[in-house]
Structure 1
């Protein structure tokens, strides 16, 4: 797909500076800048990421090298322990419009939910934010060795955790997820997860299993969720999705059956939509369906299908 890297979080060109992870003496010679994240929400100001000079709140979290930005080393730091202003019940919700601030930060700086802000960011800023959120979440949930259970400590500028108990090294991982644009003629298959609001539909998706190809996962997940059989499958594009740590593998599958029979444990609803009806959804004029979240690869795939730009 020629437009694949136009997807949000893709094509930013971040210099990840892997060489500096292995050479702390060189890293120590560079000026330091830091992106702060509170409960996974990056610090923003005037619609852009706000990076602070220096280490930020050095007593909180452990800095993770995100890469080089200009002549400086850019780190990310988890400051979730900060007592911020503006924390409420909306934090962590499906749609989180809340914004938090701290009096020690410059005026106008706020912690913003990345899914709310992602389409406003430049490709580089989006890649930086996704990387920071993903790797900090990995640290939060991998404090103990999966081999012996002992506590682990960060290393390699935050891109490894080492176990003092058995010596094993652990590295950040992402979970591969297939997300599929299932079509049959002029129609597309959409589904709604049980946790989603009424009327919110998107492409079907599911985690890949060990020993499974992308094509097999597309066919299996579509069948499990909707009872639809899929024939030819082709890869389209990918998107890092740090909510909390997935790599979305976008594919198109051609359905060979029509009748939907959902598994209610997997999905709440599934529907076929004609192309013309999906146009109404994207225009915001459909009577009851709302489109997939802007910035998500599902929105990207559906939009390109409507524009006949999948090649």
Structure 2
């Protein structure tokens, strides 16, 4: 099963689908982390968020003992179903093949892709929070990389996650989708945007749909979520019912339009065959919750 086919709330007994146990209690035990390092799986990530891979793009996971003593910047990711610890460390070897997360997540096992997403988000946070936002002092990272502590004022800093809503808005047998100018030609996706301070998720769904398309919704239902570390988002997926049909353009989207169910099915089928260009448009990438939401809408619509 690929990540695109897996449910976003990963449960069950398949070790390749089960997320890592983040083992929070071990983050405060440097001696225990150091003892686990030699037998640990290590994902090496560079400053651009790419991971070490083999020549075919498969994950290149190193064993801790092959990398020498545990480096100071090693991040503890958790423990898998086989009781193996997973860490992430900085990839500095310029000759090592690399792969970016979007490509990797399309083919890697869910557990590896999920661990890589966590590693990427932590590395991004560390790189951009080296100094305290309160006093400007230098920040050191402790608790296995999960806590930043200012060396001057001792203020504590934690990894940031930005909630964003993403919604499939339907009206009968039509689905609302839009595209940004920077996307590949013919690519369309469902509507998304960040939650603002003081908003409920439902209010954010209604506001984003109205701002980007001028469509008013009459209700929405939460379906699932997906971490999206580009750089730090948590996508919260909804299906909504449209209360109006006339689309009003905005500066946020190059175009928004209604697609009939038959067009969407044809685009999804072409994508599933590995021939997305033969479809009427390019659907959202299969690694994304947007793709999953579109399929959920199709399954619920006749």
Residues 10 and 239 of structure 1 are in contact (CA less than 8 Å); yes or no, is this contact kept in structure 2? no
Change (3 A) 1:206 1:47: same
1:253 pairs, out of 224, 230, 240, with: 240
Change (3 A) 1:201 1:61: farther
1:271 pairs, out of 236, 249, 257, with: 257
**Number of the residue aligned with 1:21:** 27
CA distance in 2, matches of 1:195, 1:61: 38
CA apart distance, 1:221 = 0.3
Gaps of 5+ in 2: 12-17, 271-277
Gaps of 5+ in 1: 85-101, 103-109
Change (3 A) 1:292 1:259: same
The root-mean-square deviation of aligned C-alpha atoms, in Å, is 2.3
User: For 1:131, what is the secondary structure of its paired residue?
Assistant: helix
CA distance in 2, matches of 1:259, 1:170: 45
**Superposition pairs of residues 72-221 of structure 1, within 5 angstroms:** 72-79=84-91, 81-84=92-95, 102=96, 110-221=97-208
**Number of the residue aligned with 1:93:** none
1:41 pairs, out of 43, 50, 54, with: 50
CA apart distance, 1:247 = 0.2
CA apart distance, 1:296 = 0.2
**Number of the residue aligned with 2:78:** 67
**1:207-247 deviations in Å (ceiling 9; x for gaps):** 00011011100000000001000111110110000111100
Change (3 A) 1:199 1:9: farther
TM-score by length of 2: 0.86
| Higher helix proportion (structure 1 or 2) | 2
**Number of the residue aligned with 1:306:** 298
CA apart distance, 1:144 = 1.0
Name which of structure 1's ranges 20-29 and 217-226 shifts more when overlaid on structure 2.
20-29
Change (3 A) 1:58 1:180: farther
Change (3 A) 1:77 1:28: closer
**Number of the residue aligned with 2:282:** 290
CA apart distance, 1:59 = 9.8
**Number of the residue aligned with 1:90:** none
CA distance in 2, matches of 1:147, 1:234: 39
Residues 76 and 132 of structure 1 are in contact (CA less than 8 Å); yes or no, is this contact kept in structure 2? yes
CA apart distance, 1:53 = 1.5
**Number of the residue aligned with 1:280:** 266
User: For 1:307, what is the secondary structure of its paired residue?
Assistant: helix
CA apart distance, 1:47 = 5.3
Residues 9 and 127 of structure 1 are in contact (CA less than 8 Å); yes or no, is this contact kept in structure 2? no
User: For 1:220, what is the secondary structure of its paired residue?
Assistant: helix
CA distance in 2, matches of 1:140, 1:278: 40
Equivalent pairs counted in the alignment come to: 279
User: For 1:6, what is the secondary structure of its paired residue?
Assistant: coil
TM-score by length of 1: 0.83
